[in-house]
């Protein structure tokens, strides 16, 4: 049975959750009346390295999810129309913004790309853009100067003001807004290269820390977070031991792909033996990614509109949706 948020703690105590929980079977049943707009080739094209997502997963999980997000977007559009009529204004509607958060290697990038493809096939949102917060990482030279290169991915390694400004401009209806481009090969911002967003129907923003709350400030200064501009948000979740193993598996695979490129920042990793690669990946996870997940990323889970919880095989096992 669907969990409507009431969880028994003791015989005489009940806690109430702001989420409605669905098992995989309950959630996938919602797809019956929703057309599947992607093909198996589409799925192969957008899935990330090490993520075994297939058409069945898209059918059962992402088909109803894309429909739900479309309903949310349509509802915001209806509210905009009603509000504009009430105020006597003719302002055009601003983009519907979706944030996607989660750990390194949990599969949030694949989630973002699949949703971009699916949402763009709905008649009400043909123009969907995707931006990752990697582009707002501080350049390596700046991180080195500040002693933060080993903390890349932590909140302090981003140009948070520029990221907030970018999202605010998009949400304010600025016709063209540009963002820096990050290369996972060179492990740095690409000089003089920008991605430009031109008034999309939907903007997806994917990144580790996009659900973090604003820092506390004095009453004289306003405090806004990136998430304050989101209309909906998704947290991709999994048990830490599973994500750790996925990270190690991906690291091993990268030795023959991105790491092997002559211009790769990690070119020296390409020649590692299996055991050396496992040891190195484990060290990076335990000293950088795991602390970031524990301190900065996982605590934002409950701020999401929707939580996708994955099992050991990467498949989504349950979905939690915030009550309206």
Mean pLDDT rounded to a whole number for the chain: 88
The alpha carbon dihedral of 45, 46, 47, 53 has a sign of negative
Confidence of residue 16 (pLDDT cuts 50, 70, 90): confident
- The total number of structural domains that make up the chain: 1
Predicted local distance difference test score (pLDDT) of residue 214: 82
Predicted local distance difference test score (pLDDT) of residue 48: 60
- Evaluate whether residue 317 is within a structural domain: yes
- Evaluate whether residue 94 is within a structural domain: yes
**pLDDT higher than threshold 50 for residue 114:** yes
**pLDDT higher than threshold 80 for residue 44:** no
What does the pLDDT look like over 211-247, one tens digit per residue?
Answer: 998 876 656 556 789 999 999 999 999 999 999 999 9
> How many alpha carbons fall within 13 Å on the CB side of residue 155?
18
Query: For 179, phi and psi rounded to 5 degrees?
Result: -135, 150
- Give the integer Cα–Cα distance in Å for 155 and 133: 11
The alpha carbon dihedral of 28, 30, 36, 37 has a sign of negative
- Evaluate whether residue 1 is within a structural domain: no
- At which residue do the structure tokens 């506390």 appear? 216
Q: Mean per-residue pLDDT for 179-187?
A: 95
Nearest to 163 by CA among 205, 203, 109: 205
Nearest to 201 by CA among 135, 121, 133: 121
**pLDDT higher than threshold 80 for residue 57:** yes
Predicted local distance difference test score (pLDDT) of residue 21: 95
Answer for the pair 168, 229: CB distance below 8 angstroms, yes or no.
yes
What's the CA dihedral at 231, 200, 117, 164 to 10 degrees?
-50
Predicted local distance difference test score (pLDDT) of residue 35: 63
Q: Mean per-residue pLDDT for 276-288?
A: 97
Domain holding 114: CATH number? 3.40.50.300
Q: Mean per-residue pLDDT for 292-296?
A: 97
The residue that leads in pLDDT, 33 or 305, is: 305
Tokens of 291: 């602390």
- Residues spanned by the domain of 139: 6-322
- Give the integer Cα–Cα distance in Å for 284 and 144: 18
Answer for the pair 55, 117: CB distance below 8 angstroms, yes or no.
no
């Amino acid at each position: 049975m669907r969990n409507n948020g009431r969880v028994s703690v003791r015989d005489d105590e009940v806690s109430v959750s702001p989420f409605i929980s669905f098992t995989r079977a309950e959630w996938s049943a919602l797809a019956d009346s929703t057309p599947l707009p992607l093909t198996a080739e589409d799925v192969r094209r957008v899935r990330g390295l090490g993520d075994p997502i297939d058409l069945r997963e898209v059918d059962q999980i992402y088909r109803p999810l894309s429909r739900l997000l479309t309903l949310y977007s349509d509802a915001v559009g209806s509210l905009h129309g009603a509000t504009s009529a009430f105020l006597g204004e003719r302002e055009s509607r601003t983009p519907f913004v979706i944030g996607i958060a989660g750990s390194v290697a949990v599969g949030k990038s694949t989630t973002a790309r699949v949703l971009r493809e699916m949402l763009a096939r709905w008649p009400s949102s043909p123009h969907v853009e995707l931006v990752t917060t990697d582009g707002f990482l501080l350049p390596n030279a700046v991180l080195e100067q500040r002693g933060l290169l080993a903390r890349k991915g932590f909140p302090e390694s981003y140009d948070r003001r520029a990221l907030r400004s970018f999202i605010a401009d998009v949400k304010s209806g600025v016709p063209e807004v540009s963002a820096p481009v990050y290369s996972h090969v060179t492990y740095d911002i690409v000089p003089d290269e920008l991605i430009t967003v031109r008034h999309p129907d939907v903007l997806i923003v994917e990144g580790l820390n996009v659900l973090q709350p604003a820092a506390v400030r004095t009453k004289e200064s306003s405090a806004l977070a990136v998430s304050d501009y989101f209309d909906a948000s998704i947290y991709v979740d999994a048990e830490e031991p599973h994500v750790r193993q996925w990270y190690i598996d991906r690291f091993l695979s990268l030795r023959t792909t991105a790491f092997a490129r002559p211009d790769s920042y990690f070119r020296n990793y390409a020649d590692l033996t299996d055991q050396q690669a496992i040891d190195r990946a484990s060290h990076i996870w335990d000293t950088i990614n795991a602390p970031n997940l524990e301190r900065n990323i996982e605590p934002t889970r409950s701020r999401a509109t929707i939580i996708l919880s994955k099992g050991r095989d990467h498949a989504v096992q349950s979905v939690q949706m915030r009550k309206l």
